[in-house]
């Protein structure tokens, strides 16, 4: 941990009730759950794999025979070929003894029915993936609890937040938020002209620009470094930062970005997602232009996007992009119905001078290829939905999409027991055994998330997010009492 006397940053973060189901505070032991997942597409299979890795008992219901076979061959889970809206299939999956049901299909009606049935079986926690915005906009007739849902996951919101994360921190190569977007996790590729370059972390924490910044890992020439106070950030490094939202402008200055610079974005698409992105960006940046390939949908967009220029045309038409002055665009965001169209329009926008291109793609094929040929960011709504559900179940979940997850770094989520060696001591004392191998990235305490310093004292029942090299996992777990204290790694 950085040996620093700076106060820890704290953000309010209401803790989900689900955590109480698998952690018993009185005994300090992990209590595993029986979880039923409806749907074995990208969302459901990702959930099953991760939650199985946590040690929970998983049952999956899926209608598609091939998906059932593939999931059964890949994971040690109970697979039921059937429908989540069929009580008999739910009984075959063990709903009578289930602790949680996660309805993750792309069909709202199936997810609603599954949750209503689960309520009849008194399943305590019922999470549903819902596309209909009425369930989150306060419509009294469409309250989620009326349908037996205890937690709604709205894919549109996850996609929108992913775009905003990238736009509000230009040039970031990784972006994730915690605690209702009040804690930011970002990664940048460092260049020699950035103010942060050639400085050690102790110096940064004593700098007003960096006193709320925590560097949890550095990727350097394919090697991963867990930093210490004397670690120097060098050009070419890709450090992973955690900082509170109110420190954003200061962190941007450290990486050479002018937070006060005027920003222009072009949004291309014929979807409600595209309209919502344009509307949200209008509140955050100076200029937004909307391009719609569908004339009828474009007319609808024009009635909803007041103060935004709406153009009709294809994102793959260079004349349309020139009309939108794409060469002056800081961001080009493609959110049409068609993945190929989004990829091609981003590549064309980049070739015409757009600074950053963001493509929304609904599958995980060829993502590395798309990034290697010039697209800056690929946003996969289905993977974001899976991540959103995992964050609801596992507070502080760190996305497996981050570059750091392609290394030997594990992200552990650990509870502090009353008799743990790490409890009741400042981290600069208790963390000496794993210094340089592991680092505490954040602490969830009651309804707050804390960015720690060397003076932070861990208390019983704190949930601690630890970034660690693989060689440090056992030593870290011993600091927290035993291996059973760990909710396990989020490194798949």
DSSP 246-310: GGHHHHHHHTT--TTS--EEEEE-SSHHHHHHHHHHHTTSSEEEEEESSHHHHHHHHHH-TTSEE
What pLDDT score was predicted for residue 25? 39
CATH dotted code for 9-13+391-489: 3.30.70.1450
Q: How far apart are CA 289 and CA 311, in angstroms?
A: 8
Domains 9-13+391-489 and 264-386 share a fold: no
Cβ atoms 71, 51 nearer than 8 A? no
CATH dotted code for 19-149: 3.40.50.720
What residues have CB less than 8 Å from 485, skipping those under 6 apart? 28, 29, 30, 414, 415, 417, 420, 477
Helix axes 65-74, 42-54, angle to 10 degrees: 20
Report DSSP state, residue 436.
T
The dihedral sign for the CA sequence 191, 192, 196, 202 = positive
What pLDDT score was predicted for residue 21? 36
- Residue 130: which of 161, 156, 94 has the closest Cα? 156
Q: How far apart are CA 420 and CA 423, in angstroms?
A: 5
What pLDDT score was predicted for residue 18? 35
What are the counts of helices (DSSP H) followed by strands (DSSP E) for the chain? 16, 27
Regions of the chain short of the pLDDT cut 50 = 1-6, 11-30, 483-492
What pLDDT score was predicted for residue 288? 97
The pLDDT tens digits of the residues spanning 428-478 come to 999 988 988 899 998 988 878 788 988 999 999 898 888 888 788 888 888
Structural fold of domain 264-386:
Rossmann fold (3.40.50)
The pLDDT tens digits of the residues spanning 113-139 come to 999 999 999 999 999 998 877 666 655
Cβ atoms 346, 359 nearer than 8 A? yes
Per domain, the residue ranges of the chain are: 9-13+391-489, 19-149, 159-254, 264-386
Task: Tell the CATH superfamily of the 159-254 domain.
Answer: Regulator of K+ conductance, C-terminal domain (3.30.70.1450)
Residue 430 DSSP SS3: helix
DSSP labels, 171-205? T-SEEEEETTTTEEEEE----TTSTTTTEEHHHHH
């Amino acid at each position: 941990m950085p040996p620093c006397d700076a106060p820890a940053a704290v953000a309010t973060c209401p803790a989900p009730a689900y955590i109480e189901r698998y952690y018993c505070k009185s005994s300090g032991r992990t209590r595993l759950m029986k979880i039923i997942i409806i749907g074995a597409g990208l969302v459901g299979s990702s959930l099953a794999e991760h939650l199985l890795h946590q040690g929970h008992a998983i049952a999956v219901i899926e209608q598609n025979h091939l998906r059932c076979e593939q999931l059964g061959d890949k994971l040690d889970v109970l697979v039921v070929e059937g429908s989540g809206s069929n009580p008999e299939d739910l009984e075959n999956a063990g709903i009578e003894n289930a602790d949680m049901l996660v309805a993750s299909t792309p069909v709202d009606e199936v997810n609603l029915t599954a949750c209503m049935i689960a309520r009849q079986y008194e399943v305590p926690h019922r999470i549903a993936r819902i596309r209909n915005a009425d369930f989150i906009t306060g419509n009294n007739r469409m309250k989620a609890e009326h349908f037996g849902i205890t937690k709604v996951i709205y894919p549109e919101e996850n996609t929108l937040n992913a775009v905003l994360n990238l736009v509000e921190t230009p040039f970031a190569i990784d972006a994730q938020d915690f605690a209702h977007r009040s804690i930011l996790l970002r990664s940048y590729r460092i260049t020699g002209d950035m103010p942060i370059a050639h400085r050690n972390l102790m110096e940064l924490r004593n700098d007003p620009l960096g006193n709320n910044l925590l560097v949890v890992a550095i990727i350097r020439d394919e090697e991963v470094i867990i930093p210490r106070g004397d670690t120097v950030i060098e050009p070419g490094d890709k450090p992973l930062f955690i900082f509170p939202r109110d420190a954003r402008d200061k962190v941007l200055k450290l990486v050479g970005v002018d937070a006060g610079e005027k920003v222009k974005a072009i949004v291309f698409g014929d979807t409600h997602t595209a309209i919502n992105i344009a509307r949200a960006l209008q509140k955050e940046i100076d200029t937004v232009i909307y391009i719609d390939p569908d004339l009828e949908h474009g007319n609808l967009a024009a009635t909803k996007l007041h103060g935004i220029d709406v153009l009709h045309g294809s994102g793959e038409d260079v004349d349309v992009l020139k009309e939108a002055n794409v060469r002056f665009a800081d961001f080009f965001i493609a959110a049409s119905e068609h993945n190929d169209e989004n990829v091609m329009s981003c590549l064309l926008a980049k070739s015409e001078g757009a600074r950053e291109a963001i493509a929304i793609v609904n599958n995980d094929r060829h993502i590395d290829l798309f990034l290697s040929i010039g697209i800056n960011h690929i946003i996969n709504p289905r993977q974001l939905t899976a991540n959103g559900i995992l964050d609801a179940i596992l507070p502080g979940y760190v996305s497996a999409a981050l570059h750091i997850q392609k290394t030997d770094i594990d992200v552990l989520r650990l509870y502090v027991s009353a008799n743990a060696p790490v409890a009741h001591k400042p981290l600069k004392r208790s963390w000496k055994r794993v210094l340089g191998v592991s680092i505490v990235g954040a602490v969830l305490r009651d309804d707050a998330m804390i960015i720690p310093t060397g003076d932070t004292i861990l208390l019983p029942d704190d949930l601690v997010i630890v970034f660690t090299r693989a060689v440090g996992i056992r030593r870290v777990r011993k600091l927290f009492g035993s291996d059973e204290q760990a909710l396990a790694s989020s490194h798949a």
